[in-house]
Amino acid sequence: MLRTFVTHNPEDLEAYFGRALPELLRIAEVVLNPLDRDLTTPELIEHAATCDVVIAHRSTPGESTLFSGCERLLAFLRTAVDISTVDVGAASRNGVLVAHADKSFVPSTAEIALALMLDLARNVSESTVDYRRGVDPPQRPGFQLRGKVAGLIGYGAIARYLADALRSLGVEVVVTDPYVDAGVDGFRQVGLSELLGRSDFVLPLAASTPETEHLIDDAALALMRPGAMLVNVSRGELLDEDAVGRALDSGHLAGLGMDVGCATDQRPSAALATRPGVVSTPHLGGLTPENADAQAMSAVEQVRALTIGELPPRSVNPDAASRLRAWWTA
C-alpha cells in the first residue's frame, strides 16, 4: 500500500474528506497532518519523509525543498485545479509526479456569480442589513434579469455554464474571447469594446495572465454603459481596484459584486467590499461541500491509479515521473 500523507488541517479534512477518507483508507496507508493548522514546508518534509504520496490542500505549496527533501515521494496530488504554488520544474527535476483535481468547481462558481448578479439587481443584502439593524427598509425594487444583457469576458468552463443558465433566464449573453468561439453554442461573439458598451452586467471570467491583468481599468470602465454593473468571480488581478472605486464614486458604475479581489487569498479588498452598492463573498465560489468532496475523491482516484500502475488523470508532468516508473518496475 502506498503510504499517503494528507496535508489538510482538521477543519479542511472534515470539509473535504468525509466520504473520501474511508475510501482512501481502503487502498492506502494514510498519515494525517498531526497539527491543528496548515503545515509549513519544513514541517511537511519532517512529517511526510516516510511517505510515497502527498495529497495537498490548495494552501500547501509544493516548494522545491519538499521535492528534494522527501526522497521517497513519488507523487504530489493537489485537491484543487490551481497549481500556481507548486514548483513543477523542481518536482520534475526530482522525478516527482504532479497532478491536480478536475474542474468540479464550475457549477458552484457559476452559481455564486449568479447570486451576486441577483443580489445587485434586487438589493437583497441591502434590505437584509436594514432589517438586522432594526430599520424598516425602504422599497428598493431593483430590476429583473430577463431582457438584460450580460457580457462575459472569457468563454471558459465557468463562463459556458453561466451562459447557459443566463440564457434560460431570458438574459441576452454576449461574449468576448480571443481564443475560443462562443458562436458554436449560439452566443454572440463581439469585441471587448462592444461588449463593454452593450452590457448591463460585465463579468470578467478570463484566466489571470499578464494580458488580462487590470483588464477592467479606467478606459474599460469609461466604455461601460452608465448604470451598468460589474461582477468578478474570476481573479482579483483582472480589476484595477482604484479605477473601480473611482467609477463607483462617480456613479458611472451602479454596482459591484465580488467573490475575489486583491486581499489575501484572493479575497475582496475591504476598501471596495465595505462600500455601499457593493456585495461581496470571501472567495468561496468553489468552496461548496459538493466541490470539496469531488476534489478529495479525485485524489483518491489518482492514488488508486498509482497503485495499479497507471498514470493518474490530470497529471501535469508524466514524462518526468521517473521515481514512479522505478517504483512500478521494482
Ligand X SMILES: NC(=O)c1ccc[n+]([C@@H]2O[C@H](COP(=O)([O-])OP(=O)(O)OC[C@H]3O[C@@H](n4cnc5c(N)ncnc54)[C@H](O)[C@@H]3O)[C@@H](O)[C@H]2O)c1
CB count, 10 Å around CB of 172? 17
Is residue 9 part of the contact set for ligand X (CB under 6 A)?
no
- Tell me if 298 sits within 8 A of 85, measured CB to CB: no
Site string for ligand X, 220-239 (x = CB under 6 A): -------------xxx----
Please give the backbone phi and psi of residue 83, each rounded to the nearest 5 degrees, phi first: -120, 25
Least separation in angstroms between residue 259's CB and ligand X is: 4
Is residue 100 part of the contact set for ligand X (CB under 6 A)?
no
Pinpoint the alpha helices (H) of 150-269.
157-168, 192-198, 218-223, 241-250
Q: Which of 41, 85, 212, 307 forms a contact with ligand X (CB under 6 A)? A: 212
Q: Which of 151, 154, 236, 268 forms a contact with ligand X (CB under 6 A)? A: 154
Least separation in angstroms between residue 240's CB and ligand X is: 15
The C-alpha atoms of residue 93 and residue 123 are separated, in whole angstroms, by 53
Q: Extract the C-alpha cell encoding 202.
A: 460585465
Select 154 or 257, whichever has its Cβ closest to ligand X: 154
Is residue 286 part of the contact set for ligand X (CB under 6 A)?
yes
Identify the CA nearest to 113 among candidates 156, 57, 58.
156
Contacting ligand X within 234-273 (CB under 6 A): 234-235, 259-260
Length of the chain in terms of residues written = 330
Would you call 45 helix, strand, or coil by DSSP?
Answer: helix
Select 60 or 234, whichever has its Cβ closest to ligand X: 234
Q: How many positions of this chain bind ligand X (CB under 6 A)?
A: 30
Interface stretch with ligand X, choices 66-74, 164-172, 181-189, 208-216 (CB under 6 A): 208-216
Identify the CA nearest to 84 among candidates 316, 262, 295.
316
- Tell me if 307 sits within 8 A of 34, measured CB to CB: no
Select 91 or 112, whichever has its Cβ closest to ligand X: 112
Select 7 or 109, whichever has its Cβ closest to ligand X: 109
The C-alpha atoms of residue 295 and residue 109 are separated, in whole angstroms, by 14
Residue type, 312: P
The C-alpha atoms of residue 104 and residue 288 are separated, in whole angstroms, by 10
Q: Which of 15, 206, 294, 321 forms a contact with ligand X (CB under 6 A)? A: 206
Select 210 or 276, whichever has its Cβ closest to ligand X: 210
Cα 58–chain centre separation: 10
Is residue 58 part of the contact set for ligand X (CB under 6 A)?
no
Q: Which of 1, 25, 49, 207 forms a contact with ligand X (CB under 6 A)? A: 207
Identify the CA nearest to 157 among candidates 106, 84, 104, 233.
106
Site string for ligand X, 177-196 (x = CB under 6 A): xxxx----------------
Chain residues that interact with ligand X, rule: CB under 6 A: 103, 105, 109, 153-159, 176-180, 205-209, 211-212, 233-235, 259-260, 283, 285-286
